[in-house]
Structure 1
Amino acid sequence: MKLSIKGLVWLMPWLVASSPLQTDEPLAGPDGSIHGNHIFNALHNSMKMFGCVLQHNGMSIFIATVPQGTEFYHGTSSPYRKNGTGWLAFEPEHAMAFAHPRQSHRAGPKDATDEPHDDQDTSKDHRYHHTRSLEHNDRQDDHDNHKESSFGSSSDMDKTQSALGPEQPTTEERSGYFHTYRTKREMRLVYFDGQSAAKSLKGTLDMQDIVLRNATWFDGSPAEGDNVRADELCALARDRWDNRVDGFIRMVGGFEIILCSFADNLDVKCILSTSSGGGGSSLNYARALATRFDGIGGDRVSINYADFVSLLAFPDAVYFDERGLPRAINDWANLGNVRHHIDRLITQLDSPNPINWQNIVDMIVTRYHYRINLMLSSAISTHHELQRELHLAIEPFVDAHARNSDLEIERCATQFWISGADLSTTPAQAVYEVSKQLCSALVTGAAAETYEEGIAIIQDLKRYLDWTDFRKCNNCKPDEICQLPIWPSGSEEDFVRPQCGAGRSHGAGGYWDMMGRVRG
């Protein structure tokens, strides 16, 4: 995959603007306390579908590692293993949605045109079907869109068939193919948080398109989007970061990897033909996604939470739109410092035994989110009841014979603190800022003289925290799931207040039709 002239156009200004040789002035460091609540939530939601869907504008990138021997899935119309750049799914049902025969134009949970064609492979490919193995050279992995793309042109077999005219499809042409791969070695990846594979102008693509690719315009169309995006991200990994990363993790209809080279990183476990319908039911797919609402599971991905880059830690790099969603400021001067820190993150050696700030954040959320919900529920309706709940929340931090609100707040805020944690780092600053705000509200609320005053303090606290756990569905039936606005489906109601149901709402209310604009 050669770097195109178009690729050089966007890459060269970054090479000049962010080179450490261009200036001797120290670059300003990130400040995790500025938008600490948003960074705190990025830590909590990382690699969890529920939080990533509802706080869909990811503004942070993390270094992720996938261990050797991890199983991944790929759906396609080709029975031949893939060697070039392409997509991997973490869940079988996600990949099955793309395992269509060549004549099918059915769109899967993400638009069928999302997946690019593979490179024109020059290495020997292997074909696996019904336990037989046949060798075949220079066979391209065709995908659902069957169009020319930046990854390669149509195969000689396709050109020959076109010259002969239309024929009845063979048995194999009526089948899709479900590929299972295993990683040959540990893979190092860049993880974009939020619903970062959603083809929306709401801000889901800001980190990829504005910050990394320096794309000045994008119309939201899947055909233009992911083919070019994957091509340029992999060129960036190769040419700027010296192949220090193997690909990129994103999320929309499940977590997925843009892997820059299948040949370098994967062994084939098996390739199976699927029925002509392919993909299974949408309900089965939705159920598979729901199993990952609280995490990807199985130690399949490890994230470095001690050192990451968030636009939210750079006040001149982010703004909030009319819905309160964070967006990247499309201004080269303001993003130069961010790009410098991204380069540092990716090209440096990974820190040994980093602090897992997500574990700390999760303990804070699980301790307090149900208490806050209870205080604001109909079960608490008097000043006495509210004071009782607030005192129970702060009781472990109170010296009954020497009341001191400052010390109580500090004890509460540092309950889960790691000894020796560096307070100058982005995650430490964000966690400490949120913890102090949380504990201060609890202590102040407990001292409020009226129910109205106390309840207003807790309401303000809940709005500030904005934890997605506050919006989780309760007690769904066995045949129901919590319905979320997973692109391209979902309603405004799904976003504001997810409800139990039979599956995704499939566009009722048109949440993703209300497209935001990329600010120039």
Structure 2
Amino acid sequence: MHLTPPAVLLLGILCVKAAPGSSSQTLFKSTVPAAESLANNNTQWDLSAGPPSNSSSNFIFATFSSFLQHWPNTKYRNGHNLVLGVIPVGSLLYHGTFRNQIPNTPEWTATDPEHSYMFCRNLESDTGCWHLTLAATRPLKVLYFDGSSAAKMDNGPMDSQDLVIWKEVRPEWSFREGERIARLCEWGSKYGIDGFVRMEMDFEVMLCDFRSGVEVVSFLNLVPAAPVMRRPRKEPLPSRSPLTNAHDDASSIFSLNSHELEAEIQPPTDGPKGPFSAGSMDFRVMEAGSWHNHFPGDPRFRLDYSRIVSFYDPVLFPSLQAARQGQARLDHRLDKISQADVDTLFSQLDKVLEGWQGLPAESGIEWQNIIRVITDRYAERLEILHYILNSTSTTYGPLKMAYRHLSSMVAPYNLLSAAPPSSNYTGEENRYSWASPVYELCATTHTKAFESPGTASKLTHSERLLLGALKDVTKEICRVVVGLWAEGREAGLDPVPGEMGETLVSHNLTAEGWKERVEALMKWLDWSFWLRCRPACSYEEMCYLPTWPWFLRRQPRSIFLRTWMWRNGRGDDAEQSHNIIPGIIPIGTLIYHGTDKHEIPDHPEWTATDPEHSYVFCRSVKAHSGCWHLTLVATRPLKVIYFDGSSAAKMDDGPMDSQDLVVWREVKRERANSDGDRIIDLCEWGKKYEIDAFLRMEMDFEIMLCDFSNGVHPVSFLNLVAADQEIRRPVSRHLSPNSPATPDSEFEVDSAPHYDRHDGFQSSREFPLRIPPLFRLLEAGSWHNHFPGDPRIQLDYSRIISFYDSELFPSLHHARLGQGRLEHRLEKISPEDARVFGAQLDRVLSDWKGIPSGSGVDWKALFRVITDRYAERLELLHHILDRPFVSHDRNSNATLKEAHRYTTSMIAPYILQSAVPPVGGDKKHTWASSIYQNCATSHTDYIEHSPLSLNLTHSERVLLGGVKGVNKEICRVLVGLWAEGIEIGLAEPDLTMLVDSGEISPEDLVRDWKTRIENLMAWLDWTSHWLKCQPACSYEVCSNIPSSSAFDLRLATRKCVICPPGHGSQTPNQDPFSWTTGYGDLDMQLERPLAL
């Protein structure tokens, strides 16, 4: 890892960390080495000799110390260990299903009911679902795959399972969960294995037999958690993010982006839809997973540390050790394993499983406790040491404080006989050799007892591997700590009275050097203890490290517990699609297609409007064969149909409803992942209307092109380095005779310079880190975040079909009553309205030639005029009313006067001379009605009362009604506030104190006005303006709304304000960081923006 710069720690009376208990320390007594015994052992305890570059001890320690803990196994998803364990008698397991039938085949169970309840679903909403609770009647023998081993991703999490099942890594089979569980259970049957433990949002048990070793506690008919999720396609299609994954049966994807829970304004839903939205239950399973974030992890499993097979074992798997050389830990995979090592794997598995009865190891050592003692001892201490050394002070204070801190760490090993010579040693070789006995004692105190002949003879291979890792890790910690301590003692930092022997400048350099050495140590150790939300989450927040299938960045951030949800979309689009809009792609427009085949498709396929999007799908089948990237140009206007919302999101909770109605005349949740059928059926349906393509959005816009030989012409078809192919630095400049020539210029790959990473560490690679294609895809999508969107698509607003049209679709109008916007669906459309939809679609498209028709009004420009006029102004008005103020009336009056002045400026063009308030007052403000009317109709009256109205299409009349309604409500609120202010005297220039009328105080009036503005903004819901990073992103940082597709975002850019996940850590100001709108029911804590 790259070190997390420590947060400011509160060091004081209330933050004293208790020392480890004495009972733990007694285990590790060892013989004190005499100074003279080291005379011939200086090489082993040389303070200048660090661990070998190919050491895997740090990885072994880090993974073994992280078993069953959600937090570290979320950060490092690619598991490297197979661990035997048991589920104790009486432990409960849970299973959610739509059948009133106990499974008679292997199935998934959960350790927390919040997890299993997610799968308690049913197609028939009025019949409920079934939730099964089981209890273990005997110790259940399980095999645990560490990492995020239930994450259906093709870049590593399932490698270890693949090797067990198929004896090779098969990333293309990451979705074959049904086959996976069947094969695992079949393989494990000869060893008596009852189940397999994996982790995603929470832990799960793949239970092989529901009638062996478990009994039914209850089998209850419950209100379904949410609509059923269906099996996705087995092969990913180009419109899907290549790293988007899903269960193919019980463990379906559930996107956290499905709905917004408006808890404070919507009452809980009763009846067949369930008491919670899908989003709230998503939160609950995350919450359940967070209970196991740290040590001891999930306590319902007891692992046997004496029977571990670790792929970090250099003795058993030398091919993997070589493959990892120079790689960051996040890149560690098992796909480079040799056949000989695969044979060794099964031989070793047979050894650890044969005759295993689930009993404790013969040695009797509680390795988990030993690991915990070491991490407790050093984790926080090293963080504090780094914090001290990170000071910018130019005085001796930080150095002295650091030395005192070091002295307290070394104190238990500071032998009386270990003292520096009277005059400083000037040689460089084995400097500070006088401190070697202290180093040895520190390094061996926790492990030396286990090396006695009686204990060592009982150790299994797994235990010897772990013991070696413990020795190496403690040795490196002690080498750095004792080395700094010895250097400080020789430099005169010891509190013994005396003079500092060096100048201030040299001490500043020493402090910097010390900090770098501590950083290097913490980077090498890479303990998850140092990965956290900074600053810490407050009340009503939970620190959450994104996990599959939600927002797969590895940065922790805070979630606001009262709302739970994050909004999807690009610009103003809500996730669900409610509009179908014809449009054209102009002549000369370029579109792109990435593929693994050197052939132009002869069937409907996906293309992209940005090459960054298509390149993500430019993948190779064979190593080093590259991929093929096709660029096409439109040779005529291409007729397209645009589905708004996140319409390329393969989710069954709304984004694809409008497509379903076009293709199948009904919403089919179970076909959310049937994109192959979808594109074929859409293109077949569109032939009648000569539709060339269909436009959708996910992380960026995509085009489902029906015919690659009609209306488009190839510009280029290039063989590129595949998106999934790592660019490697040549081993030698001397290429083989058959190798392609490399230009001898400044652009040679070998000439790439070293550069300093933004996080303060020198890159371990000599070639600059490649920016992942997924980052560039997100970046490309962000170009279209706001107006005008993607300019390469020209939409015909005169032919829109909107499911918000209450005249055409009254059944949907009634179904939406009381719902939040993110819950709006099309599945409740009546059969009659579905027939109306088909007829209207035929009317709109039957005579469409791709040329704008109707009135000719530029509706897009009109929308922009209105939002430009009011969006920022309403936000500023809310800011004025939201300013903190004390209880003194003068502040309330000042706030009211300022707000009234600002409101006056907003409606000034509509204030009629004849509009004067009556002397007696008018609570209904009827005297201002003419101003209200003038304001409300100023942008639409000319359309309604001119010849333009004669040519309005039905779609345009719907748009006009929408514009009128929005304008009217904005003006009603603004003119109402303004008129009220006039009546109470806020316009008087000499007013210093508002007279309390006795009905409402100035403070309450401010709150009332603020609430009215909040309600207006909540009703308008202009997310492209009001959904933003607060505070705004700085230079070299961009903000991104997570798309609905789940994907592994491994960012690797050079000048990042915040360290990218997968290569860095957190900065102190990183979290929590919220996207907020701050307006009434729009108040929500959103996912932290990506800092790219």
**What TM-score, normalized to structure 1?**
0.73
Matched residue, 2:193:
245
Matched residue, 1:488:
549
Alignment deviations for residues 273-293 of structure 1 (CA, whole Å, 9 cap, x no partner): 222344652222221111111
Aligned equivalent of 2:344, options 333, 337, 340: 337
Change (3 A) 1:271 1:297: farther
Matched residue, 1:475:
536
2:200 aligned partner, one-letter code: V
Q: Distance in 1 between matches of 2:447 and 2:299?
A: 24
Aligned equivalent of 1:392, options 403, 408, 411: 408
Aligned equivalent of 2:109, options 83, 88, 98: 88
Aligned partners of 2:130 and 2:221 also within 8 Å: yes
Matched residue, 2:399:
383
Change (3 A) 1:377 1:232: same
Matched residue, 2:154:
201
SS of equivalent residue, structure 2 residue 212:
helix
- Residue 98 of structure 1, CA deviation: 0.4
Q: Distance in 1 between matches of 2:178 and 2:156?
A: 19
- Residue 211 of structure 1, CA deviation: 4.7
Q: Report 1 or 2 for greater relative contact order, CA contacts < 8 Å, sequence distance ≥ 6.
A: 1
Alignment deviations for residues 410-430 of structure 1 (CA, whole Å, 9 cap, x no partner): 222233337335387111011
Q: Distance in 1 between matches of 2:170 and 2:301?
A: 32
**Which structure 2 residues correspond to residues 151-162 of structure 1 after superposition, within 5 A?**
none
- Residue 334 of structure 1, CA deviation: 2.6
Aligned partners of 1:213 and 1:233 also within 8 Å: no
SS of equivalent residue, structure 2 residue 78:
coil
Matched residue, 2:556:
498
Aligned partners of 1:63 and 1:190 also within 8 Å: yes
Matched residue, 1:12:
none
Q: Distance in 2 between matches of 1:380 and 1:98?
A: 48
Q: Distance in 2 between matches of 1:512 and 1:389?
A: 43
Matched residue, 2:77:
56
Aligned equivalent of 1:99, options 120, 140, 149: 120
Alignment deviations for residues 229-277 of structure 1 (CA, whole Å, 9 cap, x no partner): 1111111112xxx233112111112111111111112211001222234
**Which structure 2 residues correspond to residues 364-513 of structure 1 after superposition, within 5 A?**
364-377=374-387, 381=391, 382-403=398-419, 404-417=434-447, 419-420=449-450, 421-422=455-456, 425-448=464-487, 450-473=510-533, 475-492=536-553, 495=554, 497-502=555-560, 508=1042, 512-513=1047-1048
- Residue 99 of structure 1, CA deviation: 0.4
SS of equivalent residue, structure 2 residue 95:
strand
Q: Distance in 2 between matches of 1:281 and 1:511?
A: 18
Aligned partners of 1:81 and 1:268 also within 8 Å: no
Please state if 1:233 is matched with 2:148: no
Change (3 A) 1:427 1:100: same
Aligned partners of 1:57 and 1:195 also within 8 Å: yes
Matched residue, 1:214:
167
Aligned equivalent of 2:333, options 327, 333, 336: 327
Alignment deviations for residues 333-367 of structure 1 (CA, whole Å, 9 cap, x no partner): 23221221111111143534632212111111111
SS of equivalent residue, structure 1 residue 305:
strand
- Radius of gyration: which is bigger? 2
Aligned partners of 1:198 and 1:204 also within 8 Å: yes
SS of equivalent residue, structure 2 residue 134:
strand
Matched residue, 2:864:
none
Aligned partners of 1:445 and 1:455 also within 8 Å: no
SS of equivalent residue, structure 2 residue 65:
helix
Q: Distance in 2 between matches of 1:435 and 1:296?
A: 21
Matched residue, 1:310:
310
Where in structure 2 are there 5+ consecutive unaligned residues?
1-53, 227-277, 392-397, 420-433, 492-509, 569-1040, 1052-1092
SS of equivalent residue, structure 1 residue 189:
strand
Change (3 A) 1:260 1:340: same
- Residue 384 of structure 1, CA deviation: 2.2
Change (3 A) 1:390 1:88: same
Q: Distance in 2 between matches of 1:462 and 1:212?
A: 36
Where in structure 1 are there 5+ consecutive unaligned residues?
1-32, 104-168
- Residue 310 of structure 1, CA deviation: 0.3
- Residue 198 of structure 1, CA deviation: 0.8
- Residue 504 of structure 1, CA deviation: 8.5
2:318 aligned partner, one-letter code: P
Alignment deviations for residues 362-405 of structure 1 (CA, whole Å, 9 cap, x no partner): 11111111111112226753322222222221111102442442
Aligned partners of 1:490 and 1:504 also within 8 Å: no
Alignment deviations for residues 433-485 of structure 1 (CA, whole Å, 9 cap, x no partner): 11101111111122346112211111110110000111023632232111212
Matched residue, 2:65:
44
Q: Distance in 1 between matches of 2:101 and 2:402?
A: 64
Aligned partners of 1:445 and 1:453 also within 8 Å: no
Alignment deviations for residues 466-518 of structure 1 (CA, whole Å, 9 cap, x no partner): 001110236322321112121111243xx1x41222368798388834589xx
Change (3 A) 1:512 1:295: farther
Change (3 A) 1:284 1:170: closer
Q: Distance in 2 between matches of 1:68 and 1:217?
A: 36
Change (3 A) 1:440 1:477: same
Aligned partners of 1:304 and 1:354 also within 8 Å: no
**Which structure 2 residues correspond to residues 284-295 of structure 1 after superposition, within 5 A?**
284-295=284-295
**Which structure 2 residues correspond to residues 134-213 of structure 1 after superposition, within 5 A?**
169=124, 171-172=126-127, 175-213=128-166
Change (3 A) 1:338 1:297: closer
Give the fraction of aligned pairs with identical amino acids, expressed as a percent: 25
Matched residue, 1:271:
219
Alignment deviations for residues 92-144 of structure 1 (CA, whole Å, 9 cap, x no partner): 1000110001x2xxxxxxxxxxxxxxxxxxxxxxxxxxxxxxxxxxxxxxxxx
Please state if 1:261 is matched with 2:209: yes
Q: Distance in 1 between matches of 2:284 and 2:178?
A: 28
Aligned partners of 1:380 and 1:386 also within 8 Å: no
Matched residue, 1:30:
none
SS of equivalent residue, structure 1 residue 308:
strand
Aligned partners of 1:306 and 1:355 also within 8 Å: no
**What TM-score, normalized to structure 2?**
0.36
Change (3 A) 1:216 1:38: closer
Q: Distance in 2 between matches of 1:53 and 1:229?
A: 21
Change (3 A) 1:69 1:340: same
Q: Which moved more, 1:209-218 or 1:367-376?
A: 209-218
Matched residue, 1:166:
none
How many residue pairs match? The answer is 409
Alignment deviations for residues 8-50 of structure 1 (CA, whole Å, 9 cap, x no partner): xxxxxxxxxxxxxxxxxxxxxxxxx940111101111001111
2:320 aligned partner, one-letter code: A
Q: Which moved more, 1:251-260 or 1:296-305?
A: 296-305
Matched residue, 1:157:
none
Matched residue, 1:35:
56
Q: How big is the alpha-carbon RMSD for the aligned residues of Structure 1 and Structure 2? A: 2.8
1:309 aligned partner, one-letter code: V
